[in-house]
Amino acid sequence: MTMHDAAPYLPHGGAMRLIDLVADDGSAHATIRADNPFLLPAGLPAWVGLEYMAQGVAAAHNLRAGQAGAPRSGVITAFKALRCAGEWLDPALGLTVSSELLHADGGHAVSACRLWQGGLEVASVTVYTKEHDAGGQA
């Protein structure tokens, strides 16, 4: 498994780029940084895992499509069955996103995602996405 810097595969920049590395197998890795805009004194709310999983899906998709440096952007059109194991994610532990592309057709995709922290699954969701067209519309 080869790891790649995620920045060229994500349209996000600065503190909103949450994913650090993306792997050939569709997994992604992140460090919860001090400049994270969602970070609270109690930690990181578990629902923010949805954004980590969405960025993990985007990075993996753009890596597969060879979109380094010019990543395709899109939107989450829906998500289903978001499950969180607790209320908070521990900022001291890194995160691993696993995503499996279930279906893709005409710019639409469905992916099953899991979020891992400290070797435990802490969240899961099914994400439905649509790529922007050439005019920037979803």
Mean pLDDT (10-residue bins), the chain, 138 residues: 90 91 92 93 92 90 77 77 93 91 88 94 92 55
The domain of 116 spans 3-131
**Per-residue model confidence (pLDDT) at position 133:** 56
Give a yes or no: residue 56 inside a domain: yes
Give a yes or no: residue 49 inside a domain: yes
User: Are the C-beta atoms of 19 and 81 separated by less than 8 Å?
Assistant: no
Give a yes or no: residue 43 inside a domain: yes
**Per-residue model confidence (pLDDT) at position 138:** 46
How far apart are the C-alpha atoms of 50 and 56, rounded to whole Å? 10
Give a yes or no: residue 136 inside a domain: no
Give a yes or no: residue 72 inside a domain: yes
Q: Could you say which DSSP state residue 65 is in?
A: T
User: Are the C-beta atoms of 23 and 1 separated by less than 8 Å?
Assistant: yes
User: Are the C-beta atoms of 51 and 30 separated by less than 8 Å?
Assistant: no
| CATH number, position 72 | 3.10.129.10
**pTM attached to this predicted model:** 0.86
Overall number of domains in the chain: 1
Give a yes or no: residue 137 inside a domain: no
**Per-residue model confidence (pLDDT) at position 67:** 66
Give a yes or no: residue 89 inside a domain: yes
User: Are the C-beta atoms of 2 and 24 separated by less than 8 Å?
Assistant: yes
Give a yes or no: residue 36 inside a domain: yes
Burial of residue 89, with CB atoms counted within 10 A of its CB: 0-12 exposed, 13-18 middle, 19 or more buried: buried
Tokens, residue 12: 């996000």
